[in-house]
Amino acid sequence: MQAAQGERLEVLLSAQQIASRIQNLGKRITLDYQNKPLILIGILKGSFIFLADLVRYIDLPISVDFMALSSYGSSTKSSGVVRIIKDLDHSIEGHHVLVVEDIVDTGLTLNYIYGHVKSRGALSVKICSLLDKPDRRQVAVPLHYKGFEIPDEFVVGYGLDVGERYRNLPDVCKLVRTDA
């Protein structure tokens, strides 16, 4: 895909690398949740492609729900002030929950979601994130399943955006500003 003017895209993780890592995560989740009622909660919008691929590698009778949040930050910085735009459709009581996120940066968003979901009576709550930027962490969040650790770079593609652009890139790419 052509980058917008003033921007360049550098592939950080190829579609192939991502697919093989997700297959591996799916296998682990399948083993860990044998005979356990499991709900996957995708955090919109960034996790939509990751979740869609991940569930197809989980060989269990799962269900799927979504939450959408807005963060009062700029397009490239998270403020940590989070508001729920779409809450869960169904009760999670009596179920094990796996929260599926695109990326953990400061950890503020997931810290909020983790507390919120834990207060809803699930049997257990675990977190699965495709990407982890550990250098930027402000609050510790338990990452039970992780795709890749990446350096402190702003990335787009495979569901991740900047101002709603580039979500449909098949690779995860570093976004380089060429006009700075």
Cite the active site residues: 105
What's the closest the beta carbon of residue 164 comes to ligand IMP, in angstroms? 11
Buried b (16+ CB within 10 A) or exposed e, 92-129: beebbbbbbbbbbbbbbbbbbbbebbeeeebeebbbbb
What's the closest the beta carbon of residue 31 comes to ligand IMP, in angstroms? 27
What's the closest the beta carbon of residue 20 comes to ligand IMP, in angstroms? 22
Residue number with CB closer to ligand IMP (58 or 113): 113
| Biggest distance spanned by C-alpha atoms of the chain | 54
Residue number with CB closer to ligand IMP (33 or 173): 173
Q: Point out which residues bind ligand IMP (CB under 6 A).
A: 46, 78, 101-110, 154-156, 160
